Structure 1
């Protein structure tokens, strides 16, 4: 017998071992059961979280959107699950812009779906409506987002609990899934608020046609900082236009009588709704017989912009228009639908005895900052010259040449030299008057064509706010005699500019059509 057996066989050791053996046999199953219980609890917890997450995602995808009115737009706001959060603003058909507004699993989408006809008309026809709409857009958007958040919170919790009710038969489990959904919502809100970046609005990423927006519109931060002051000034300036009528009576040398044909030349409105108020006031107070628009009434030539041209009808005088490079064929068709509008694209029209010929711009380039040649591989300058030559050839075939020819880009004017006494254009956003050189072979004493380039009646649109001072609104009143239908004089009207609350008017007389361009005869201002 070994020493170990001797020890074990001692009575007291055997007794202790006999007493511990049942206890040892009972502890092992308890340990194994404990391990299985923790695993089952963890599994149940993970299952509850998974059901809550899946139910929330499905509910948000189905009902996580609301419709709201944002300014003149009917908009759709939606929240969708995402990895990196952010905000998208879609503006069909122009494209979209993306903002890194926040992080987290919730992505906000805003889609401007359609323009409300009544609110859009109010913006265009009422100068005060612009102020009201711009101040109300933020509140409209805030109201829509708050509605969306409450709706998403409600439907996501409900969706999670409905999915739990389908999978489990225990109300206890359904309640647990609802609690998990609330916890996930709270976490999402904390992450979104904690990572919210207000400065993201000034640093958008563009897609579609809006890729060109920074080049065309300019720095959003500069525009936003200047627009409030500029809007207030424009409202004062519209009222000051009324003083022009009194200023006209003090101008010397030329006094138009009631039979004089009075034409208002405007150009490059670029969607500025405040410009219509100025145009309407001048039409009324100067007794205008016809309005001539040399193009770029819109910015992009898109469908939402069609409603802007509806203010043409409110002028209640004939409106003669040629297409600009920012105006599409769709824009031209929208203008043609106005009851008092006459669209020229190679033809002529006679109004009050004044015969007007015109041709639309051969290019459609909403982003004029884009480099490259014109369509068809032609040089842009040559394309414009070809367009002017096409109109000149059409004039040569007429029995009686027109009194005025219209083009948008001044580069198209040279072929019209010697064919008409007066050419009107725009495009440059800067007023200029010059004489065109007659073609080779013309008699030395032949009359030289006067070329009048109008500034921007819309102040170059939003782009006019990018510089240190907004581009002033420019328009001109032309006076034609009723017998020969020749230009006798014209008034250049300039409205506004930063730091200015005045309207200036310059009277110019036409004295000699063989010499240089006329100089101003007086410069009163009100």
Structure 2
């Protein structure tokens, strides 16, 4: 390279340097006002506060997410209360496995959730067997909720302040800033509380939004406030109703048309309890006063067949007599298993059992429709499918009867539709499902052999008064159950007593006795006798 070329290169570099320096001076002159503003003490303080506020908020959120929950008992339930950050506030109540309900209870950055995690079997048993315990629990549940929420508020306040201060200490390592972070977190908590209280809407409990199976809750339960008011009156009348059942037993001796003796087999038929805790007291009183040999339950003991509802069946053991059960369309396999675990219970689902000489067979309902959307109630093809399922179940039971060495005395189904294939195969079929009593002879499409009585179908009303739904009307549905009298030698039905326990405002118990004549020709029907009340 020549000396001239080297000088030329150096000149170009020098010129570029001068241009760069000039450009930097222009930029510096343009940024100078902004730099002076940033250097101002107020701006620096605002930036310091914003940074500290961001760290405090993040620390509070982390603390709440890690430890912002408490556990407490609410009535017979174990519940978990939790708060999570949210834009719209509100409250969720989770009831596994039924679903959840959402309440627009308040606005603000705190969302409350209550999860019912488990059911205490001992406390639940006390509720369904003791009206006094039910009253005490209904009043104590509100206190339990209040205590749980207060515990949650104090815990959330503590962990959020602690989270904010810990994160500030880790990032800044300054005692001054840690103290300031604690003050900021307390201010944020106070603001959240003010917003939540100011926007609290007590009426939100009347307008919940349901998810899961609880979507059907308004149709199933109806107006909760109306039911609650009616149940208070219903509970107040319960003891008098049960007492009247005992007094009614004394009037049986005045009925001359049929007098059972010591050898008579007495069977108590119940159905469709639907979780009514009052029903167990009535069943227990009738079983004791009428000295029944066994109890037959034709299903729908629960409403949803859920695991928490399984504790309702624990009262079976206290009845102290054999208990024969077939599954209804509101009972799940969990319900059936819970009944089978009772020491005095026998569950039939295609098999047979012999008790006090009576051979009983039965089959569970083929449908599980706890949301009340039974295909039997649907139009068109869906209805035909539901009916066919019931008929198929009845035919399956009829086929199993043909394989038995001796024909059974009683067959059990839940839906009376399933009884049709049993015509001519068994003398008596017991069912429920309709919540209304009905007694009739089944028509045998294949004809009845000479000298053979036509099959008698007895549909029981609702022993639970249709559960809570029975309290929706002006007069709650009466509790219905029947005592059946069988001849000890021939095992034939001789008579039966229909018992109705009146609802609110009807503090009476009525009994109607019916005789069952041998129906060799199919022309005779059960004959009513004088009633007592």
Shift of 1:368: 1.8
Q: Does residue 407 of structure 2 align to residue 401 of structure 1? A: yes
What is the aligned-residue RMSD (CA, Å)?
A: 2.3
What does residue 529 of structure 2 align with? Answer: 521
Q: Does residue 464 of structure 2 align to residue 461 of structure 1? A: no
Q: Distance in 2 between matches of 1:52 and 1:238?
A: 63
Residue pair 1:406, 1:424 contacting (<8 A) in 2 also: yes
What does residue 173 of structure 1 align with? Answer: 177
Q: Does residue 421 of structure 2 align to residue 415 of structure 1? A: yes
Bigger mean CA deviation after superposition, 431-440 or 514-523: 514-523
Shift of 1:81: 0.7
Q: Distance in 1 between matches of 2:244 and 2:459?
A: 25
Matches within 5 A, 1:182-197: 182-197=186-201
What does residue 509 of structure 1 align with? Answer: 515
Matches within 5 A, 1:338-417: 338-369=342-373, 379-417=385-423
Give secondary structure in 1 for the equivalent of 2:532.
Answer: coil
User: In 2 relative to 1, CA 47–266 (structure 1 residues): closer, same or farther, beyond 3 Å?
Assistant: same
User: In 2 relative to 1, CA 112–33 (structure 1 residues): closer, same or farther, beyond 3 Å?
Assistant: closer
Q: Distance in 2 between matches of 1:285 and 1:124?
A: 21
Give secondary structure in 1 for the equivalent of 2:66.
Answer: helix
Q: Does residue 63 of structure 2 align to residue 59 of structure 1? A: yes
Residue pair 1:72, 1:120 contacting (<8 A) in 2 also: yes
Matches within 5 A, 1:24-423: 32=36, 36-369=40-373, 379-423=385-429
Q: Distance in 1 between matches of 2:97 and 2:162?
A: 36
Residue pair 1:363, 1:375 contacting (<8 A) in 2 also: no
User: In 2 relative to 1, CA 385–516 (structure 1 residues): closer, same or farther, beyond 3 Å?
Assistant: farther
User: Gaps spanning 5+ residues in structure 1: where?
Assistant: 1-27
Shift of 1:244: 2.3
User: In 2 relative to 1, CA 374–294 (structure 1 residues): closer, same or farther, beyond 3 Å?
Assistant: farther
Residue pair 2:448, 2:454 contacting (<8 A) in 1 also: no
Give secondary structure in 2 for the equivalent of 1:413.
Answer: helix
Shift of 1:251: 2.6
Residue pair 1:233, 1:496 contacting (<8 A) in 2 also: no
Residue pair 1:373, 1:380 contacting (<8 A) in 2 also: no
Q: Distance in 1 between matches of 2:242 and 2:53?
A: 62
Calculate the TM-score normalised by the size of structure 1.
Answer: 0.89
User: In 2 relative to 1, CA 50–109 (structure 1 residues): closer, same or farther, beyond 3 Å?
Assistant: same
User: Gaps spanning 5+ residues in structure 2: where?
Assistant: 1-31
Residue pair 2:517, 2:524 contacting (<8 A) in 1 also: no
Q: Distance in 2 between matches of 1:105 and 1:54?
A: 13
Q: Distance in 2 between matches of 1:283 and 1:121?
A: 20
Q: Distance in 2 between matches of 1:246 and 1:166?
A: 82
Shift of 1:188: 0.8
Residue pair 1:336, 1:342 contacting (<8 A) in 2 also: yes
Q: Distance in 2 between matches of 1:383 and 1:278?
A: 33
Q: Distance in 2 between matches of 1:296 and 1:33?
A: 78
Shift of 1:174: 2.1
Q: Distance in 1 between matches of 2:214 and 2:455?
A: 40
CA-to-partner distance for each residue in 1:124-153, whole Å, 9 max, x for gaps?
A: 332322222222211111111111111111
Give secondary structure in 2 for the equivalent of 1:379.
Answer: helix
Residue pair 1:361, 1:408 contacting (<8 A) in 2 also: yes
Bigger mean CA deviation after superposition, 160-169 or 187-196: 160-169
Residue pair 1:128, 1:235 contacting (<8 A) in 2 also: no
User: In 2 relative to 1, CA 377–411 (structure 1 residues): closer, same or farther, beyond 3 Å?
Assistant: closer
CA-to-partner distance for each residue in 1:374-394, whole Å, 9 max, x for gaps?
A: 999961111111111221222
Shift of 1:325: 0.8
Shift of 1:318: 0.8
Q: Distance in 2 between matches of 1:382 and 1:152?
A: 57
Give secondary structure in 1 for the equivalent of 2:40.
Answer: helix
What does residue 495 of structure 2 align with? Answer: 489
Residue pair 1:488, 1:510 contacting (<8 A) in 2 also: yes
Following TM superposition, where does structure 1 have runs of at least 4 consecutive aligned residues deviating by more than 6 angstroms?
373-378
User: In 2 relative to 1, CA 124–375 (structure 1 residues): closer, same or farther, beyond 3 Å?
Assistant: farther
What does residue 476 of structure 1 align with? Answer: 482
CA-to-partner distance for each residue in 1:232-288, whole Å, 9 max, x for gaps?
A: 233442333322222323333111111110000011111122211111111111111
Residue pair 1:436, 1:451 contacting (<8 A) in 2 also: yes
Calculate the TM-score normalised by the size of structure 2.
Answer: 0.88
Shift of 1:445: 6.7
Residue pair 2:38, 2:44 contacting (<8 A) in 1 also: no
User: In 2 relative to 1, CA 47–355 (structure 1 residues): closer, same or farther, beyond 3 Å?
Assistant: same
What does residue 10 of structure 1 align with? Answer: none
What does residue 500 of structure 1 align with? Answer: 506
Give secondary structure in 2 for the equivalent of 1:139.
Answer: helix
Residue pair 2:374, 2:386 contacting (<8 A) in 1 also: no
Q: Distance in 2 between matches of 1:243 and 1:384?
A: 40
Bigger mean CA deviation after superposition, 57-66 or 368-377: 368-377
User: In 2 relative to 1, CA 104–236 (structure 1 residues): closer, same or farther, beyond 3 Å?
Assistant: farther
Matches within 5 A, 1:434-453: 434-443=440-449, 446-453=452-459
